Structures are given as C-alpha cells and as structure tokens.
Amino acid sequence: MTKAISPRSRKVRVLATLGPASNSPEMIERLFDAGADAFRVNMSHGDQASKVPVIQAIRSLEKKLGRPTTILADLQGPKLRVGKFAEGKVTLVTGHEFILDRDPTPGDATRVELPHREIFEAAEVGARLLLDDGKLVLRVISHAPDRMTTIVEVGGPLSNSKGLNVPDMVLPMAALTEKDRSDLAFAVEQGVDWIALSFVQRPEDLMEARRLIGGKAALLAKIEKPSAIARLDELLEQCDGVMVARGDLGVELPPQSVPPLQKRIVESARRLGRPVIVATQMLESMITSPSPTRAEVSDVATAVYDGADAIMLSAESAAGDWPVESVAMMNSIADAVERDPTHGDRVHFTVTRPDPTTADALAEAAKNIAHTVSAAAILCFTTSGSTARRIARERPNVPIMVLTPKIETARRLGLLWGVHAVHTRDVGSFEEMVAKAKRMALRHHIAAAGDRVIVCAGVPFGTPGSTNVLHVVRLLGDELKTYKGSDSAG
C-alpha cells in the first residue's frame, strides 16, 4: 500500500454496523469518510452469500484508501424463543399461572411450547423468565423435565416465537449453534479480522470458538449475560477483546445496574489490555431522526471519557434513515470529548499497572517520555500487534503509529484506541528502523520537521513479543526527499 492517509484526529474508534441502509460500496465509503474506522457484519440477518459483496466492498475500499480496514463478523448465538399460539397471540394476566412445556401443540392463554430442553434442565424454583425483551415476567413455581409452571408477575400481550431471557440460570448450552459454526467457518474463509461470540456464559465457550478460528481472526466476547459478569476476569483471559452488549444486559438485569457494570467491564478490559467496545442504543433515536437526544450524546461521551477503545452503532447505521449522519454525529461527539482539557485526566482514572516484563516497562516509559519531551507520536514496529496493545493500554496523549509487515495484524488493530496501523515492509537493522520511522511519520502527517517521536521495537526484528528497544528521534523534515527506495509492503 503506497498511498498515505492521515490518522483520525480522535483516538477512540467508531465501529459501524452494515445492513440494508449501508451495504453498498458507495455507502460504505461514505460511512468511512464520516468517521467509521471499522465495520460490523451481523450474521443474524441475511444469508452468507449476501455478505460476500459487502466484505469485498470493504476490501476494495481498503485498497483505494491505502489504509488497513477492520471487519468484525458478529455471530448470532442461540436464540431462545417460545412456540406458537393457536390464535397467534394471547394476553397473559398478572397473578395467573402459565405453563411452559415440550408439547409442540399451538398454545393458548394457559400454556405454550418451550422448545429448549436446556432451560428445563437448569430451571429452579424462584427463577425468572423474561419474555419479549423483558416486557413480560414469569417466575418458576414448579418444574419437571418437560413441564414448568410459572406465575405471571408482569403480564401483557404475547405473540408467536417471542424471545426469552433467563437471567437467573446458567444454561447447559453451548454458545455456538450449528448456524454459528457454519457462519464462523464462512467468516474465517472470507478473511474477516474479528469474530464476535454471542451468549458467552463461561470460559469454555471462548476456548471452543478459538479452536475453530485457528488463529485466523481475533476473538471478541460479547458480555450480555449475568453469568458472564460473574466470571468476567476468566473470560477476559480467554479472549482478544470484549463488547459491552447493553441491550441484553439491560433486559436480564435491572436497567440501573447496567451503567456501573459498563464501567466495571471497561475498567477490567483496560487493565488487561483487551480492546473494549461499548455498544447498543448509543444513538438510538437517529434510526428515525437526523439528530440524537441530549441523553444519547451524554451516553456516548461517557464511554469516551471512560477510555473505551471503540463505540458502536447498530441499527442506526445498518437500517436507519440517517446512517451517514449517525456516524458523523458519533465522530463529532468523540472529537469534542477528546478536545476537552480534562479528557486525559479522566481517561487515566483507570490505573493500568504494567506487568513485570521488559515490554510493559517500555510501553509505560514510552507514554511518560512522550509527555515529558512533548513528542508528536509513538511509533512501534510489531509483527503480532502485542507491542501496540501494550502501548494503547497506557492511553498516551499522542497518536500511536503501528508499522507491521503483516496485513492481518494491521487490520486487527483497527479496534484499538489511538492506533493508526500501516502495512509496510519489515526492517532488518536498528538504523533501518530509525530511518523508516522518520519517513513514515512524515508520510502519514503524524509529525513534522523538528518534532520528536518515540520509536519502540523488538530486537532481533521480526520476533513476536520481543519488545526491548525504545528510542527518541528528531525529524529533520527532508527524510522523504533523500530516500530512493519503497516502504510499501506490496
């Protein structure tokens, strides 16, 4: 890739979901121009064949712009639903009993099929069942292997195949369905950069997904169930990144508990150096309105102040009336927050203590030196991306430019706070490293003549996880004029 594109002025990344309103190559480019850094392909909607031209369009845009572009494929996960009703719809009355059973006969106001044996296996007296995104609440009063009697605590209309949430149970159910396994294999074959796993309950769910991915993509855990919160640290150890999926969290938990949980997840992920995405209903009103509510603006701003790596748009960019405007709005909110003089202090409310390793010590030192000498940027050479993740965890007050010979690494880093990744030829010596760092800083307009930049790398070069060099250099400004070779990885 020879064309150089300037980094975003902000450090938090914007992840835009693609869908009917934004699937065309023209719209994908417009979303990028408006501020989208990465794109989410939702495997819950449409078939696999419909995803191929979307992924191809993103890769074509990548070539056109000369900038590695990130694709996240989001797996659907198990969908718990009740069966069908003889009349298509019933009304459950508060205080009345309602039975869930394994009988496929269409239901009525007294019973309906529940085609998930795992729920019967996990059921306990007192457990809640939430129907239709939590609008209706049932509580188990007795249960058997194929029949569960509940009391209706919150009644209302219930129609065919409505969704079911079971916040008080850990289900003996794998996070990967047969559809998910097929979609995962398809996504890996198509070369996506991240796989997002839904319905994560236990570390074993992530281990199975990682085995199937086989190192060909990064693994992101969606935290959307109370059982995942209970084992958060274990889950973070098993994944490459995490998403605060506030939609299902807000159904299975009291709404007032979601904001502190969001902060806890963001803080825990940051401490371990895992990219963390805050998602769901961030600019919900922009599905139908060209402008957000003030509360939504404040919600996005809070995620940026907390130091989240990325903020995500769902239906706003996928199926709404204002996809480009919603991305532009999220971009402008993030820009405004990061220009706030107090932003840096607020981001560092979370203390990220380095592990007792050379790589972590140098990452922390790079941040401190950049601040002390007023450097323009930190540049790091990496093969695996681990150096970039360590530096990004420190949340330095300058841009992070990542130079890597692996296009896969460059693409995966698109969800990382403050990182501008460049796919370029590898270096073979210390002198070559310094010279290339100067050229790339100038070429990508990340520094100018007279600026200092911090350079991090590992020697011997090309050895993953060997970060052991930190060097401060000053740019003269003529490094590009005197260089006759090519930095392109092509």
Residues taking part in catalysis: 40, 81, 222, 280
Provide the Cα torsion 310, 324, 5, 389; round to 10°: 10
> Which pair of tokens denotes residue 352?
């990220």
Q: Which residues pair with 157 in a beta bridge?
A: 91
Let me know how long the chain is.
490
Closest CA relative to residue 73, chosen from 34, 98, 43, 108: 43
Report how many helices (DSSP H) and strands (DSSP E) the chain contains, helices first: 17, 21
Contacts of 243 (CB under 8 A, 6+ apart): 196, 220, 221, 222, 223, 276, 277, 278, 279, 312
Residue with tokens 């995405």: 277
> CA separation (Å) from 277 to 211, 265, 266, 328?
23, 10, 8, 18
What are the tokens at 261? 């949980």
Which residue has tokens 């957000």?
A: 292
Phi-psi region of 46 (alpha: psi -120 to 50; beta: other; left: phi over 0): left
Distance CA 290, CA 468 (A): 49
Q: List CB contacts of 273: < 8 A, sequence separation 6 or more.
A: 352, 389, 390, 392, 393
Q: Which two tokens stand for residue 300?
A: 């996005």
Nearest to 16 by CA among 30, 46, 35, 36: 36
Contact by Cβ (8 Å): 322, 316: yes
Alpha-carbon distance of 139 to 344, in angstroms, equals 46
Both tokens of 462, joined, read: 């090309």
Residue 35 near residue 8 (C-beta atoms within 8 A): yes
Query: In the block, which residue shows the tokens 């994560």?
Result: 200
For helices 48-65 and 178-189, angle between their N-to-C axes, nearest 10 degrees = 30
Rg of the chain (C-alpha set) = 24
Start-end of H helices in 348-464: 358-372, 386-393, 407-412, 430-443
Residue 151 and residue 141: Cα distance in Å, rounded? 7
